[in-house]
């Protein structure tokens, strides 16, 4: 196993430390040799075949690898009744692997599935996943769904939908852009971390 493979699996399996990244270490995957990518793919396929509903990161990594072998294992995960997080990850992977007809609709439907009618404290992680995934799928359908979701009363859904549209428009993912537009102040610390301070409330808000 190469150093890049070890780096990938350390990040992948130490989810207590890496969960904030939100996805597998795609940078390491991109740098691997064809042989290294094949070894990673084999392990991921084994995990998918044994526990298909266990881990959306497995699906995301197989999509990043463009695994044709994964395609027949991923298609059943689009069925109704499968959790939203798994359905979104499977659909995004199938779009990357095969431009599967209907995959984008699955993601759009999840994004808008509990849409915009009232405020909620629910995290709605599968809808946030859907917004992020659509930021890398530039079709009229994806743009229309994201535009609708920018007015969602769940702030995180709206925020990530706006960020996804920005990604489609600029070709570059910038996780901080929306916060800066909303008036937050960004500070880059000496250790490389980023901190934000809240905007000052207006007189009306005080």
Domain match, 92 and 123 both: yes
Comparison of pLDDT for 168 and 195, the residue scoring more: 168
- How confident is the prediction for the chain on average, in pLDDT? 85
pLDDT surpasses 60 at 163: yes
Domain match, 116 and 200 both: no
Q: What is the mean pLDDT of residues 69-92?
A: 95
Domain match, 40 and 86 both: yes
Domain match, 76 and 110 both: yes
Query: What confidence tens digit (pLDDT) does each residue in 130-150 have?
Result: 999 999 999 999 999 999 999
Q: Which residue has the tokens 């990357």?
A: 96
Q: Based on the structure, what is the number of domains in the chain?
A: 2
Domain match, 182 and 131 both: no
In terms of Cα–Cα distance, which of 12, 60, 66 is closest to 38?
A: 66
Domain match, 110 and 188 both: no
Domain match, 117 and 191 both: no
Domain match, 162 and 197 both: no
* pLDDT of res. 206: 47
Domain that holds residue 188: 176-206
Domain match, 27 and 69 both: yes
Domain match, 115 and 188 both: no
Lowest mean pLDDT among 28-42, 118-132, 171-185: 171-185
What pTM value is reported for the model? 0.79
Lowest mean pLDDT among 103-107, 144-148, 185-189: 185-189
Model confidence at 36, in pLDDT bands (50, 70, 90)?
very high
Domain match, 181 and 165 both: no
Chain-centre distance of CA 154, in angstroms? 17
Query: What confidence tens digit (pLDDT) does each residue in 148-162 have?
Result: 999 998 889 999 999
The C-alpha atoms of residue 42 and residue 65 are separated, in whole angstroms, by 11
* pLDDT of res. 111: 95
The C-alpha atoms of residue 28 and residue 202 are separated, in whole angstroms, by 45
Domain match, 97 and 180 both: no
In terms of Cα–Cα distance, which of 70, 65, 83 is closest to 12?
A: 65
CA torsion 32-34-38-44 (nearest 10°) is 30
């Amino acid at each position: 196993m190469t150093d890049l493979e070890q780096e990938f699996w350390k990040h992948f399996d130490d989810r207590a430390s890496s969960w904030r990244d939100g996805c597998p270490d795609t940078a390491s995957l991109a740098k691997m040799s064809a042989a290294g990518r094949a070894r990673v793919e084999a392990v991921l396929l084994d995990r998918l075949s044994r526990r298909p509903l266990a881990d959306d990161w497995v699906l995301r990594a197989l999509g990043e690898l463009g695994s044709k072998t994964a395609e027949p294992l991923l298609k059943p995960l689009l069925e109704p009744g499968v959790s939203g997080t798994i359905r979104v990850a499977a659909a995004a992977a199938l779009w990357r692997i095969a431009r599967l007809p209907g995959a984008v609709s699955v993601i759009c439907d999840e994004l808008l599935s509990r849409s915009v009618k009232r405020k909620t404290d629910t995290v709605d992680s599968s809808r946030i996943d859907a917004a992020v995934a659509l930021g890398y799928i530039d079709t009229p359908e994806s743009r229309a769904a994201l535009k609708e979701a920018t007015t969602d009363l769940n702030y995180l859904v709206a925020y990530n939908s706006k960020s996804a549209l920005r990604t489609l428009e600029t070709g570059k993912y910038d996780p901080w852009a929306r916060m800066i537009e909303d008036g937050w102040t960004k500070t880059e610390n000496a250790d490389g971390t980023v901190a934000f301070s809240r905007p000052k409330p207006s007189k009306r808000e005080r």
